Amino acid sequence: MHRLTLAQLAEGLRQRQFSSEELTKHYLDRIKKLDQHYNSYITVTEESALQQARQADKRLAEGGAPLLCGIPIAHKDIFCTEGVRTSCGSRMLDNFISPYNATVVENLINDGAVMLGKTNMDEFAMGSSNETSYYGPVKNPWDTNCVPGGSSGGSAAAVAAMLAVATTATDTGGSIRQPAALCGVSGLKPTYGRVSRWGMIAFASSLDQAGPIARSAEDLAIMLNSMASFDPKDSTSIDRAVPDYHTHLSTSVKGLRIGVPEEYFGEGLNPATATVIQQALKELESMGASLVNIRLPHTPLAVPAYYVIAPAECSANLSRFDGVRYGHRCDNPTDLEDLYKRSRGEGFGDEVKRRILVGTYALSAGYYDAYYRKAQQVRRLIKQDFMEAFESVDVIMGPTSPSPAFAFGAKGDDPVAMYLEDIFTIATNLAGLPGLSIPAGLVDNKPVGLQMIGNYFDEALLLNAAHQFQLQTDWHQRHPSSLEEEA
């Protein structure tokens, strides 16, 4: 059952081939048996999952239930879930039971999806390897000596190891697309404002965006249908009709103009990864698309601009964790200052502290113009690059990440090497554009992701192109060999 896609499972539930309760039990058993190898879950909500599954079965029996009804999914532990611990991968929130649901969670509940639990992540979504979680690293199901990518490593690994049908995730600088690429699954970061950020713990508010991770573009479309909505509770949510992404998948790519940016194939890109991506582009060309060489000249400035803006915004967002209102509080504080200092000192890990320090510095009087304002100006130039490119192409494609999954500790001592992991994904967030990653090949038996970047609100076009590619290729149907043999 776990080999079936969301679309196939939805059909099976309608045909009464199995019930949601059976399906949910099957997934819970797999998590019990296998997740010790991957550590993709922080919390498993067995009892409520079975309860939700029984409710879904009733709704399915009545007929007319949404496609997601009865489908076992999991949420990144950054989304608030009522009555369930929401840790954000941090000791700071280890004791935090959310009193309400994030809008994304609420939307999926309304459609009858069953929550299996909460997935592991880099602390406060800061990282590209899932090595910064308070709950320990997540392991890549393709090679457990390697990282799954981050920060949504748990959400990507859970889908790759078939421990959830699909998952929710968030992407501030690449955290949906990069782990999806490294784990051989499909992931979509929507346009900024397409999906509500309400109830999603804030990292860098002008960049954060939620999206799905799943086994195929079709499954992503079904998930996005539910996740996307206008939400008056999020002031940056956009009041624009949500198309039915699932019914927009059948257009041929004939005539699609694909922009191939020179800057995404230069120095730093692993040669074997480049070959895989070139082959994927040739495949799309043979399907009728045309390849157009383009330039995105400000690409080299994306990582430095991001590492001013994201820490600046995180230093403001994370000031709320003060040991007073909720979250970790130190023992026996002597006074208020001691309470702040020790609660934050004990509650946050090294990477979070590093970012708060950088961000506080960048925002301090006298430095604001030199750093934050400058970075915002660079951000505008990056956006302009994309807008100029989209005058002559429909979609931009290239690698999602510079190389396949790397070994644990490989970039541990060098934050800058780690930051370069996101060199191809970060510009998209700075511009607020949608981006998607799908499996396009293997290098040393490790997955490589093809990235597609669209114009604002072109999610349907991206999903359609990705689906058409997946109709012609089977990379998205490959599984890690350790799971291939298992019954």
Task: Catalog residues that contact ligand GLN under the rule CB under 6 A.
Answer: 125-128, 151, 171-175, 203, 310, 422
* Cβ atoms of residues 166 and 4 within 8 Å: no
Annotation marks residue 353 as catalytic: no
Candidate list 19, 20, 76, 226, residue with the active-site label: 76
Cβ nearer to ligand GLN, comparing 90 with 225: 90
Q: What is the DSSP letter of 387?
A: H
Least separation, in Å, of the C-beta of 451 and ligand GLN? Answer: 14
φ, ψ for residue 331 (rounded to 5)? -80, 145
Least separation, in Å, of the C-beta of 44 and ligand GLN? Answer: 23
Reading the block at residue 78, the tokens are: 């950054």
Least separation, in Å, of the C-beta of 253 and ligand GLN? Answer: 28
Cβ nearer to ligand GLN, comparing 385 with 422: 422
Sheet holding 446-454, edge to edge: 41-44, 114-119, 72-76, 166-171, 209-214, 186-189, 435-443, 446-454, 395-399, 257-261, 290-294
Cβ nearer to ligand GLN, comparing 5 with 152: 152
Candidate list 90, 175, 226, 237, residue with the active-site label: 175
Cβ nearer to ligand GLN, comparing 298 with 355: 355
DSSP string for residues in 321-340: -SSSSSS---SS-SSHHHHH
Cβ nearer to ligand GLN, comparing 173 with 212: 173
Give the three-class secondary structure for 44: strand
- Give dist(CA 437, CA 184) in Å, integer: 9
Least separation, in Å, of the C-beta of 385 and ligand GLN? Answer: 20
Least separation, in Å, of the C-beta of 194 and ligand GLN? Answer: 16
Q: Considering only CA atoms, give the Rg of the chain.
A: 21
Rounded (10°) CA dihedral 312, 313, 314, 319: 100
Least separation, in Å, of the C-beta of 421 and ligand GLN? Answer: 6
DSSP string for residues in 130-150: S---TT----BTTBTTB---S
In 3D space, the residue among 448, 423, 428, 429 whose CA is nearest the CA of residue 438 turns out to be 448
- Give dist(CA 10, CA 30) in Å, integer: 20
Cβ nearer to ligand GLN, comparing 127 with 432: 127
Where would I find the beta strands (DSSP E) of 25-165? 41-44, 72-76, 114-119
Least separation, in Å, of the C-beta of 198 and ligand GLN? Answer: 18
Phi/psi region, residue 255 (left: phi>0; alpha: psi -120 to 50; beta: rest), is left
- Give dist(CA 180, CA 88) in Å, integer: 19
Cβ nearer to ligand GLN, comparing 111 with 131: 131
Least separation, in Å, of the C-beta of 158 and ligand GLN? Answer: 17
Number of residues assigned to the chain = 487
Who contacts 445 (Cβ-Cβ below 8 Å, separation ≥6)? 142, 143, 481
397-410 per-residue burial string, b: 16 or more CB within 10 A, e: under 16: bbbbbbbbbbebee
Annotation marks residue 175 as catalytic: yes
In 3D space, the residue among 104, 208, 249, 124 whose CA is nearest the CA of residue 166 turns out to be 104
Candidate list 151, 226, 401, 437, residue with the active-site label: 151
Annotation marks residue 139 as catalytic: no
Cβ nearer to ligand GLN, comparing 259 with 449: 449
Cβ nearer to ligand GLN, comparing 426 with 452: 426
Who contacts 154 (Cβ-Cβ below 8 Å, separation ≥6)? 39, 40, 41, 42, 76, 77, 119, 120, 121, 130, 133, 138, 148, 167
- Give dist(CA 371, CA 377) in Å, integer: 10
- Give dist(CA 68, CA 227) in Å, integer: 11
Least separation, in Å, of the C-beta of 339 and ligand GLN? Answer: 28
Which residues are the active-site residues? 76, 151, 175
